[in-house]
């Protein structure tokens, strides 16, 4: 079963013909060639595939593509700061060493974005809970939490 779905992707309207058994992650990577969103465990455990749907973080590997019809999707490619520079969350990850191998980074940053949009002044505990759905195999959590704390400061 195939259908053309229409949604807003990083601020632009897109229409894609998709098969009914595909997940949003596959559409983003294979059809739309946005490979910033990573394919990790495929089971909603690692959070590497995290994107925002209508502002809420979700695991795109478990999100049926048909369900994004009419919704707004933000991926790591959609995060842009003023003057086409890096977004302040990305800047903070660079500055505070929040990136090691980099595989978890897009998902981490999208979870950080969802957290800071809702709670601009999180405690360390709230930051930890905010990224509890994202695994960093390099275990660089301390620097990731530092990065998000710094991003929160610069966004306030």
Q: Point out which residues bind other proteins (CB under 8 A).
A: 1, 19-21, 23, 42-44, 47, 50, 56-59, 62-64, 66-67, 111, 114-115, 129-130, 132-134
State which residue, 119 or 121, has the beta carbon closest to other proteins.
119
Cβ proximity to other proteins, 109 vs 115, nearer residue: 115
Least Å distance, CB 146 to other proteins, is: 20
Return the DSSP state at 55. Answer: T
Which residues are CB-neighbours of 124 under 8 A, at least 6 positions away?
A: 145, 149
Tokens of 24: 């949003």
DSSP code at position 136: -
Nearer to other proteins, 45 or 95 (CB): 45
Residue 46 in contact with residue 104, Cβ under 8 Å? Answer: yes
Token couple for 149: 């704390």
Neighbours of 72 (CB within 10 A): 15
Beta carbon nearer to other proteins, 54 or 95: 54
25: tokens are 């992650």
Task: Give the pairing of strands 72-74 and 2-9.
Answer: parallel
Q: Kindly state the smallest distance separating residue 17's Cβ from other proteins, in Å.
A: 14
d(C-alpha 10, C-alpha 85), whole Å: 16
Min. distance of Cβ 147 from other proteins in angstroms? 18
Q: How far is the CB of 21 from other proteins (least distance, A)?
A: 4
CB of 35 to other proteins, least distance (A): 20
């Amino acid at each position: 079963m195939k259908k053309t779905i229409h949604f807003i992707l990083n601020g632009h309207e897109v229409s894609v013909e998709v098969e009914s058994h595909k997940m949003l992650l596959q559409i983003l990577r294979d059809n739309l060639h946005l490979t910033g969103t990573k394919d990790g465990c495929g089971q909603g455990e690692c959070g590497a595939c995290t994107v925002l749907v209508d502002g809420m973080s979700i695991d795109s590997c478990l999100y049926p593509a048909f369900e994004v019809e009419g919704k707004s999707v933000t991926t790591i490619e959609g995060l842009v700061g003023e003057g086409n520079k890096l977004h302040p969350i990305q800047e903070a990850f660079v500055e505070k060493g929040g990136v090691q191998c980099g595989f978890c980074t897009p998902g981490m940053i999208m979870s950080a974005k969802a957290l800071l949009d809702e709670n601009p002044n999180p405690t360390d505990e709230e930051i930890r809970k905010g990224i509890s759905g994202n695994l960093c195999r390099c275990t660089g959590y301390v620097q990731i939490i530092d990065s998000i704390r710094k991003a929160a400061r610069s966004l306030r």
